[in-house]
Amino acid sequence: MSKLIMFYARECPHCKAMMPHVEKLETQEKISFEKLEVWHNEKNADLMRSYRPVIAPNCGGQLRTPTFFNPETSDVLCGEVPYEKLKEWALKQK
């Protein structure tokens, strides 16, 4: 299973809304996400910026939160999405 990253921001309501979905996935599907906060942690912000060439084209040309990212395949899912969509994306990464 590839390492999956969730880039999020502490005060982003979309990220907050996605957290229960992520936790449900982690519990039910044994898929874990490395959750990296990007507005209060410069190291995480720099990491997200380093992936800009692959993330931005899939996220309206910008670095949006939340962004779910597979660094091995460069597969990206961004924004607040239904649980089933996140699950489908995450299972595809297996």
Partner 1 sequence: MKKFWRCFICNDIHYGLNPPEICPTCLARNAYVEISSREAGKIMGAGGTTVTRVEFRRAIHEFTEKNEFEVNPDREKVEMLLDGLFANEKNHGLKYCPCRLASGDFAEDLKLVCPCNFFIHETYKNKKDGECWCGLFARRKK
For partner 1, the closer CB: 14 or 87:
14
| Helix H or strand E segment including 37 | strand 33-37
Check residue 25 for interaction with partner 1 (CB under 8 A). no
Considering the rule CB under 8 A, would residue 11 count as an interface residue with partner 1? yes
Closest distance of CB 71 from partner 1, Å: 16
For partner 1, which residue of 32, 45, 54, 76 counts as binding (CB under 8 A)?
A: 45
If binding is defined by CB under 8 A, does position 40 make contact with partner 1?
yes
Strands 33-37 and 4-8, by their bridges, are: parallel
**Distance in angstroms between the alpha carbons of the first and the last residue of the chain:** 5
Rounded distance between C-alpha atoms, residue 88 and residue 80, angstroms: 14
